[in-house]
Structure 1
């Protein structure tokens, strides 16, 4: 099969990410003696700088890792909770039916910093100063703007100039949108990270004490105080068309720390796939796996209508269960084991027929009937909302094509992903997101924006993902880790919001069932379904839409239409931003490492040797 680039093969280390600078930064750490955890942290902080439209310091970072020392998979929950002031009754009293998509109201505790540093402290070997040095340098000295960043800034330029002037100071150059390819610096962010390094170094004599001191700087020190002051004092315009102060406070930051836990897993043939818990959408991947055990996919080629139809219909069922059942298990009684039970998933698979389903069919689990939210809330919200500055994930205004920047209009909002494997076999998969440059105004003293993850909750009471103080919103962020024959094998993932556990699932099936190598499985024509309310404001519901790349054979497209799918034909290379790395032993017991990266958007890169 034709591929856009070779699958990387080596023995020393491999990295794949959504930006070449993060990939090369992480590989540089491996070259200088760091392990996979050091490399992932350094690469993750660089992603915050060089993909600011896709993630930021004020965002989130769920992480899956394999530790050779522990011989175990671990999940680090970098999703922060709702503030204590996030009372859904108070929100409804303000006339809200949904949390806004931008502004200060939907901010949670920013969990990315805690997740990255917890992994560094417990599994890494490098110092805080060493892993932060590349990010500080890019923020201080400048990094090249990819076209998507320039388009993202153009999409919110009017908002920045009229309302969010602190953001305009960071992202506009003399009032103009910076050109793609130009070097752009974010010195305030560089100063924030440099101050953390300096205070941490002064506070502790050992690597671990310095990392703990840095966590204190962020969650109980000057960063938390600045966030508290900004949220208390600034009234920020959001998608309601009004201005609101933020809910996040110092106390919310001070009492939080990331949780390290065992992931959920499910077997599929030779493979065992690990995903984050029901506070994420990760179990939707596992539910699809359990259904597709019975689909006979080996008889259907990856570009055939049978392959697409069966996976698409399994996704519809899994996403309906996500809507009905997933939420923070500390607040909601989520039947996680029931959702992954083999008999339950077999019964769900029996619902997949020859024709596309037009219904949202959540399942009855452990004798409990599902409950769906009020899906008309989105339409009522839109009737009075201010949509000038955008909708969707993340919230951006629609852009016309800008010929000097891109031949086609491109979607400027998304997320990031990073995979690393070192020569000892340690593995990391992380999907950082949130805190986009468009999410909320830049806090001038810190140089970054807060996340808007609470837009993924419901204000309707009694749902597993209803808003509550201290409760984590059910995030779409979903890294993946797979074992093969009981041995750690692959880390992979993609940006894409609701599409993450669709693109990743189809990639995995092309590789595990049809034997494509990593790059072939990434490059192959892809698709996604919309058959649920979107996870991002304004949470509109679309049913039975299948967005599919035009590279599929015409006969396959015709057959899918005949099966009842409402097709939206996309550009040839428009679906997914997969990254993947794998490891296996050869006949002499040597560790062979492989990597592939997404060519779509001309930004993701795999490196290794």
Structure 2
């Protein structure tokens, strides 16, 4: 059991010790993360879950990315004078998918009742949990907003009206009552475990939770990242119309391994595209962490992410030519574009009859001389307060990875609904997510804003089988960087025989060429952000090859968590990246 917070890992391990399976443990840990990492996720957010079920030998993906409201149109935003999706507030809110996805996981694959799985989260909500330093920093920065505009957030996160110190005991008794009521309504509906989960889903998406979200969104003027107040577009009808889907993953064979990823409504296939391009390169001959190795990975990432920017979106609304993008002939053409020098203008490939194009973000507003820091931070769509370090940070989002004694695998990347995204809904104790900020206010793109469309998410868990047997499930926080940091860890294992824990500790890097998925969509063309632990000679040689290197302190990037089975011994094994000093792995 591995997670980005030690308490969540402990919760999941306790569920396993009590006879639960990997899916029960993942859900319990996921609900706990909503309490103990409130700056990175919450019940109003989203989650993507990948599972391998030993009984069927199949990998499945549960999509907990809710769609945009039916009232969310480009014309609606144009009428408000908004040219780029806001980072925070009610306007970018999607249907909250996390609760539905976790309960779907339990119903389809779990063995324990909802009351058992929610018990630890309710305990932390009512009795308290120690506040992480990153959460304390975020609360302190946003405290003026919480005091003056987001009153319910102030009541939740400013005990006694003051910003709490790191390590303070924090509670969320309102959220505890929400979860307790969901359990009561579930148990009143039936004695059957699955029927109770279905009843809890109805109570959330058609009952009292949906009613409160609808009322708050329709009647509350919320100060947001535009610098003014707006009411929301999300309604109870939007929630009632949504169900989490259980989908087939996309997969790619890589030597003895088969790698499984979510579809193009996520960024998941970009991992597969990079892997397909790199499959024709002599990575072992280059050497792990060498200049040639880092250069090749960076160039492959540019080509794959150019395709992500041009082609990826919700395939339920727009065809995505993913089969063509993963075809051997196409990836060979892309591989041939990698040269000895950095490509400073990578372009998407052309497949099918469509014409690829990458929308351009509106230039962000320059903060005024007297603009408070909390407003500057509100305009950043990232979960935590941003720093001067470019694209750095091992936080931002969460991860849970579990393996059980039967060989089941589960990995989830929860995010959204963080305390900085929008105000706490007073009667529920949680905020709505703002994943809609990743959509474009431009017609005709696969990721353009449209009613009922899932905005493309960065959440991207991975399941890997080896010779058809369960091998490894992993994920990481990190927004757009997730499918670079996890790829580097996987390649260290697959190509160089590195053990999973060591793979989470290798020096990390990523490209920063393309605009971030999150507002205000900043970019750093041609850049490679790299930890200084690569060494000055490597970084200098990358610069000589034309890369614009942004060196960051060691231990700054990535927080990979993994769980799997050792094929040689059959023992379960887990790993947790040390960055951030809070992820934890445990097994027995």
2:578 equivalent in structure 1: 599
1:553 shift after superposition: 2.1
The yes-or-no answer on 1:95 pairing with 2:77 is no
Structure 2 distance, partners of 1:395, 1:522, is: 22
Partner of 1:306: 292
The answer (yes or no) to whether the contact 1:110–1:451 under 8 Å persists in 2 is yes
Match of 1:269 in 2: 255
Question: 1:576-587 alignment to 2 at 5 Å?
Answer: 576-586=558-568
Pairwise CA distance, 1:488: 1.9
**Residue of structure 1 aligned with 2:25, choices 18, 27, 39:** 39
CA distance in 2, matches of 1:439, 1:55: 10
Q: For residues 68-118 of structure 1, what are the alpha-carbon distances to aligned partners after superposition, in whole Å with 9 as ceiling and x for unaligned?
A: 122100011000000011011111121111110000000000001011000
Alpha-carbon spacing, 1:398–1:514, altered in 2? closer, same or farther (3 Å):
closer
1:404 aligns to what?
none
**Kept in 2: contact 1:159–1:389 (CA 8 A):** no
Is 2:549 the partner of 1:561? no
Q: How far 1:388 sits from its partner (Å)? A: 2.5
- Measure, in 2, the Cα distance between the counterparts of 1:608 and 1:197: 29
Provide the TM-score with structure 1 as the length reference: 0.93
- Per-residue CA deviations over 1:344-398 (Å, capped at 9, x if unaligned) read 11111111111111113111012433122133x1346989999533444425555
Superposed counterparts of 1:85-484, under 5 Å:
85-375=71-361, 377-379=362-364, 387-394=375-382, 397-398=385-386, 411=393, 414-484=396-466
Inter-CA distance 555–388: structure 2 relative to 1 (3 Å threshold): closer
Residues 509 and 461 from structure 1, CA distance in 2 versus in 1: closer, same or farther, beyond 3 angstroms? same
Instruction: Report the CA distance shift for 1:558/1:326 in structure 2 as closer, same or farther (over 3 A).
Output: same
CA–CA separation in structure 2 for the residues paired with 1:412 and 1:481: 21
Conserved in 2, the CA contact under 8 Å of 1:152 and 1:396? Answer: yes
Per the TM alignment, residue 270 of structure 1 is displaced from its structure 2 partner at its CA by 1.1
Structure 1 residues 247-295: Cα deviation after superposition (integer angstroms, max 9, x where no partner) = 1000000010011011000111111100000100000000000000112
Q: Deviations over 1:505-541 (max 9, x none)?
A: 1111111101100111111111111011110011123
Aligned 8 A contact 1:53 1:412 in 2: no
Equivalent residue number for residue 522 of structure 2 = 540
User: Aligned-pair distance for 1:558?
Assistant: 1.3
Q: Secondary structure at the match of 1:118?
A: helix
SS in 2 for 1:388: helix
2:560 aligned with 1:575: no
Q: Which residue of 2 aligns with 1:551?
A: 533
Per-residue deviation, residues 167-207 of structure 1 (Å, max 9, x unmatched):
01100122211111111101000000001001110111211
Quote how far apart the aligned CAs of 1:571 are: 0.8
Q: Aligned partners of 1:320, 1:552: CA distance in 2, in Å?
A: 26
Separation of aligned partners in 2, 1:106 and 1:297? 42
Q: Which residue is 1:406 aligned to? A: none
Deviation of 1:43 (Å): 0.6
Q: What is the alpha-carbon distance in structure 2 between the residues aligned to residue 102 and residue 254 of structure 1?
A: 24
SS in 2 for 1:481: strand
Matched with 1:505 is: 487
CA contact (8 A) 1:58 1:434 kept: yes
Q: Deviations over 1:455-491 (max 9, x none)?
A: 0000110000000000000000000001111222110
Inter-partner Cα distance in structure 2 for 1:435 and 1:253: 15
- List runs of 5+ in structure 2 lacking aligned partners: none
What TM-score results when the alignment is normalised by the length of structure 2? Answer: 0.97
* Corresponding residue SS for 1:69: coil
Pairing partner for 1:493 from 462, 475, 492 = 475
Q: Which deviates more from structure 2 when the two are superposed, residues 49-58 or residues 299-308? A: 299-308
Residue equivalent to 1:9: none
Deviation at 1:400? 9.0
After TM superposition, the structure 1 stretch with the greater mean CA deviation from structure 2, 455-464 or 383-392, is 383-392
**Residues 1:51 and 2:29 are matched in the alignment:** no
**Retained in 2: the 8 A contact 1:152–1:413?**
no
Question: In structure 2, what is the Cα distance between the partners aligned to 1:444 and 1:390?
Answer: 20
Aligned residues: CA RMSD: 1.8
State how far apart, in whole Å, the 1-side matches of 2:577 and 2:49 are: 20
What is the distance in 2 between the residues matched to 1:162 and 1:35? 45
Between 557-566 and 428-437, the greater mean CA deviation after superposition? 557-566
1:81 matched to which residue of 2? Answer: 67
Q: Taking structure 1 as reference, are residues 150 and 480 closer, same or farther at Cα in structure 2, changes over 3 Å only?
A: same
Which segments of 5 or more consecutive residues in structure 1 lack a partner in the other structure?
A: 1-14, 402-408
Q: 1:583 & 1:101 partners in 2: Cα distance?
A: 40
Alpha-carbon distance between aligned partners in 1 of 2:37 and 2:61, rounded to the nearest angstrom: 24
Report what 1:3 is aligned to: none
Separation of aligned partners in 2, 1:35 and 1:467: 38
Instruction: Find the aligned partners of 1:94 and 1:381 in 2 and give their Cα distance.
Output: 20
Distance 1:186 1:541, change over 3 A: same
Going from structure 1 to structure 2, the CA distance change for 1:560 and 1:508 (only over 3 Å counts) comes to same
